[in-house]
Amino acid sequence: MTERGIVIRDATADDAREIFALEKRYIDCPWTAEQIAAETVADGCVFLVATADGGPVGYVSCEVIAGECEIANVAVAEEYRRRGIGAKLFDRLLSEAKKRGAEKAFLLVREDNAAAIGLYRKLGFTVVGERKNYYNTKNALIMSKSM
C-alpha cells in the first residue's frame, strides 16, 4: 500500500533493528531487536511496517489465537504522525487478522495517551476494562473491537 511515499508491508527480520530503534523511542518497555525479528516469522503473528524515506516510520503487530487478535506494540515516528499511517497500519492488520479467523481484537493503551485513544476510538475500539499500574504508575485501558 502506498500513499505520499508511505509503503505498508509485512515486516521482515531484516527490519528488526530499525523497528527496535522506534520501539526504544516510543514504548515504555521495548522489545529487543531479537524479539522483534522472531515475531516477524512466528506462527499466528502479523507484523506490519510502514516505510518512508528509506526506512521504517511505523509498525504494528498482533497475534491471532483462538479467534482473538491481541495487538502488541504499535508506534509511528512523531514526525510522521497525523498522516493516517496509524489508521492504515491498523486497517491492514485487522483485515489480515480477520482472514486468520479473528472475531475480536484487543489492545492495551496507557490511560494518558490521548492521541492513541482517539485513534483507537475512531477505528471502532471501546474501553472494556482497566489494568491498574500496568505501565509502572500509569494505568492501562483495555480496548476491544468486534471484527
pLDDT in tens, 92-120: 999 999 999 999 999 999 999 999 999 99
Q: What is the pLDDT of residue 130?
A: 97
Distance CA 45, CA 123 (A): 21
Taking residues 24-31, what's their average pLDDT? 86
Whole-model pTM? 0.91
Residue 4's pLDDT band (boundaries 50, 70, 90)? low
Which segments of the chain are extended strands (E)? 2-3, 6-10, 45-52, 55-65, 68-76, 104-110, 126-135, 138-146
Q: Kindly tell me if the per-residue pLDDT of 7 is higher than 60.
A: yes
Q: How far apart are CA 11 and CA 57, in angstroms?
A: 12
Cell numbers given for 51: 516505510
Question: CA 19, CA 34: separation in Å to the nearest integer?
Answer: 11
pLDDT for the residue 89:
96
